[in-house]
Structure 1
Amino acid sequence: MNYSVVDPDDLEHVDERPCDLRRLSEAAGMDNVAINRFDAEPGEQLPLAYHYHETQEEAFVVLSGTLHVETPEGELEVPAGSMFAAEPEAPHRAYNPEDADGSVSVVAIGAPPADDDAVAYDPDE
């Protein structure tokens, strides 16, 4: 049996992201689920763009702060201790608004893991 203990603060920050991203599942050697920690300051978004996944289910567990999620049906506020979930093909954009009182910390879980599964979504189209 193999076990892992991963401290996100010991991991390298992923460059070219709009906020602080640490890849937890990769560090733990997990292949069947993607687990990441995002820390976003006011004005930062978690993903690179408004998007949906073709096959991946995605969930955001809010550790601290309040996560805002834009969807075609409206904006949702997800407080600390709560979870936002998106089914495949459900467009969303998770972010911390510019007028937020502080940062937001989120653990994102996606399965199956898919690096090329995200599709850009334009709400105006």
Structure 2
Amino acid sequence: MEYSVVDPDDLERVDDRPCDLRRLGEAAGLDNVAINRFDAEPGEQLPLAYHVHETQEEAFLVLSGTLHVETPEGALVVTEGSMFAAQPESPHRAYNPEDADESVSVLAIGAPSVDDVAPYEPDA
């Protein structure tokens, strides 16, 4: 049996990201699910770009603040304590708008833990 206790504040920030990203699942040695904490100031987005996953399901649980998500079907507002979920092949871009009054903290969960992300062009 194996167990882990991970404090996100003990982890290094992931470089070259538009916000503060800490890879919790990786630190815990998890292979089948990706778990990340994102902290985004006003004007920052969580992923690197508007994107889509081929096979991964993805969920964002808002720990504090308000998350905004752009989709081809329109914009969504996800308040503290609520969760946004995207099924495979569902394009989305999560962000904290420039005019936001506070930062947003999000726990992101994706399964399976695969690198199947592709950029999405809304006008295409």
* Bin for the TM-score computed over the shorter chain: over 0.9
- 1:12 equivalent in alignment to 2:12: yes
SS at structure 1 position matched to 2:32: coil
Q: Secondary structure at the match of 2:59?
A: strand
Cα shift at 1:2: 1.1
Shift, 1:19, TM fit: 0.3
* Residues 99-114 of structure 1: pairs in structure 2 closer than 5 A: 99-114=99-114
- Matched residue, 1:39: 39
Separation in structure 1 between the aligned mates of residue 52 and residue 114 of structure 2, nearest angstrom? 12
Trace 1:110-121 onto structure 2 (pairs within 5 A): 110-115=110-115, 117-121=116-120
Q: Deviations over 1:34-53 (max 9, x none)?
A: 00000000000000000000
**Paired position in structure 1 for 2:123:** 124
How many pairs align? Answer: 124
2:78 match: secondary structure? strand
Q: TM-score, normalised by structure 1?
A: 0.98
In the aligned structure 2, how far is the partner of 1:51 from the partner of 1:31? Answer: 22
* Secondary structure at 1:94 match in 2: strand
Superposed counterparts of 1:1-125, under 5 Å: 1-115=1-115, 117-125=116-124
Moved >6 Å (runs of 4+)? none
- Unaligned 5+ residue runs, structure 1? none
Structure 1 distance, partners of 2:85, 2:33, is 15
Compute the displacement of 1:83 (Å): 0.3
Residues 11-45 of structure 1: CA deviation (Å, up to 9, x unaligned): 00000000000000010011000000000000000
Superposition RMSD on alpha carbons, in Å? 0.5
String of CA shifts for 1:51-88, please: whole Å, max 9, x gaps. 00000000000000000000000000000000000000
CA distance in 1: counterparts of 2:66 and 2:25, whole angstroms = 24
